[in-house]
Structure 1
């Protein structure tokens, strides 16, 4: 005699597999390569550093 099948567990397992398949599709479609993400981070850091270097300091004298 065979073992009984728990349909609830079967449905959950199928749902997890479907979700994993959809996640893989999304990673391929929407994911950016690691090198490209790092390049963007480096560009942002360089731009931020350039802006910080050109900021003016407030006057230290008081007008009162």
Structure 2
């Protein structure tokens, strides 16, 4: 004879596992260190300055 399962427990475990998968995906997508954010911001500003330096007079105004 098989052991009976608690359906409420099974539902909660399934929900918990799905939320864990979503949390791991969000952590990989949005979780960055302060140094990574600062480096990305400095690279973006350097790129913006480089592009502005190559701008001809009267363009982009």
Please report the TM-score for the alignment, with normalisation by the length of structure 1: 0.49
Larger radius of gyration: 1
1:46 aligns with 2:56: no
- The RMSD of aligned alpha carbons is 3.6
- Corresponding residue of 1:36: 39
For residue 22 of structure 1, report the CA deviation from its aligned partner: 4.7
Structure 1: give runs of 5+ residues left out of the alignment.
57-64
Q: How many residues align?
A: 52
Structure 1 residue ranges (4+ consecutive) displaced by more than 2 angstroms after TM superposition: 6-10, 21-28, 53-56
Structure 2: give runs of 5+ residues left out of the alignment.
1-6
Please report the TM-score for the alignment, with normalisation by the length of structure 2: 0.51
